[in-house]
Amino acid sequence: MNKINTLMDGSHGTDAYLINNVTTGVTNKGSKYLSVVVEDDTGTMDAKFWNVDETDRAIVIKGNVIEIDYDINRYNNALQMRINAVRALDQRSVDLSQYVQKSPIATDELKKTIRAAYEQIQDPVYHQLVEAIFKRAGTDFFSHPAASRNHHNFYGGLATHVSGMIKLANAICDIYPQLDRDLLISGVLCHDIGKLYELDSPIATQYTAEGNLCGHISIMHGLLMEIADQCGVGDQEQTLLLRHLILSHHGQYEYGSPVRPQLMEAEILYYIDNIDAKMDMMTSLLSKTEAGTFSERMFALDNRRFYKPKSKSEDEIN
């Protein structure tokens, strides 16, 4: 099987890939086509399937692994797959571990980082809240993605995102001792746990009904209020401050936060969340870009293109 990260311009083959996403379009001449994202454990690639009939459309199903006859070409400085034909596979015989991207950091290492961050919290209220929240989250926290697309959208992505933010938070607290480290670390650990309810799974991730109707910020705020009352600390100032970090961590109204940051720690949480997410997006984008050229445009990065310097080796980007 040819892995996605080994495909090159001009490649041709017949291999099995996971359908990560699929949308139907119609050409100016009225013929149907599919815009597809295919995936394996090494990455994803955009694909086009032209002149699709109903039989083909019934095979190309999001979340299924199918056999694809394809050609690879370069379009807008990015490799793209042209699908020539598809064949259905028995999903019961598919080993999904071959088709799902995983965190580059081992689960045990992620658990160690998260545990160390939780254990460093000295304030008894924050410590109690974080402990109860992670008990509720369970092991799903270490398998869930952080998003359905754009950043950390892979198996273990949520824990990977939080792990990176912990390191940023501690480094910034070392520089600025006026920050409340306990509050900021608590905010980092808890801010995205609502995504366990917003997103359904790490495989062909989709939004749940609750995720679409409420969003992870509102979900997490409700969960925090419930747990704080159960712990008997709902009226404590620490609970109020942590609530504010949850509600404001997207920084702007237009990005989904019902309030803007009004604490130093809330402002920093917004920045480090943004830094870690965008670093993952840019790393993924540049990993698919030839040195000395510009990447394709990325809507989530203000529709910008990024240049990959000739001096950057693959190891430095990936």
CATH number of the domain to which 118 belongs: 1.10.3210
**Which of 268, 220, 216 is CA-nearest to residue 243?**
220
CATH number of the domain within which 71 lies: 2.40.50.140
Q: For residues 74 and 144, state if they share a domain.
A: no
> Residue 89: what pLDDT?
95
Give every CB contact of residue 254 below 8 A, 6+ residues apart in sequence. none
Q: For residues 86 and 177, state if they share a domain.
A: no
Q: For residues 166 and 310, state if they share a domain.
A: no
CA distance 236 to 69: 61
Q: For residues 275 and 309, state if they share a domain.
A: no
**Beta bridge partners of residue 6, listed in sequence order:** none
Q: For residues 150 and 258, state if they share a domain.
A: yes
Last residue of a domain, one of 71, 98, 125: 98
Q: For residues 271 and 144, state if they share a domain.
A: yes
Q: For residues 158 and 212, state if they share a domain.
A: yes
Q: For residues 84 and 120, state if they share a domain.
A: no
- The C-alpha torsion from 282 through 287 and 293 to 295, rounded to 10°, is -50
Last residue of a domain, one of 70, 98, 126: 98
Q: For residues 46 and 162, state if they share a domain.
A: no
- Domain count for the chain, please give it: 3
Per-residue pLDDT of the chain (318 residues; tens, 9 = 90+): 899 999 999 999 999 999 999 999 999 888 899 999 999 999 899 999 999 999 999 999 999 999 999 999 988 778 999 999 999 999 998 888 889 889 999 999 999 999 999 999 999 999 999 999 999 999 999 999 999 888 999 999 999 999 999 999 999 999 999 999 999 999 999 999 999 999 998 888 889 999 999 999 999 999 999 999 999 999 999 999 999 999 999 999 998 999 999 999 999 999 999 999 999 999 989 988 889 999 988 889 999 999 999 987 655 555
Tokens 């990455």 -> residue: 43
Last residue of a domain, one of 53, 77, 98: 98
Q: For residues 147 and 268, state if they share a domain.
A: yes
- pTM of the shown model: 0.87
> Residue 77: what pLDDT?
75
Q: For residues 158 and 132, state if they share a domain.
A: yes
Task: Provide the domain limits for residue 185.
Answer: 107-280
**Which of 163, 151, 157 is CA-nearest to residue 281?**
151
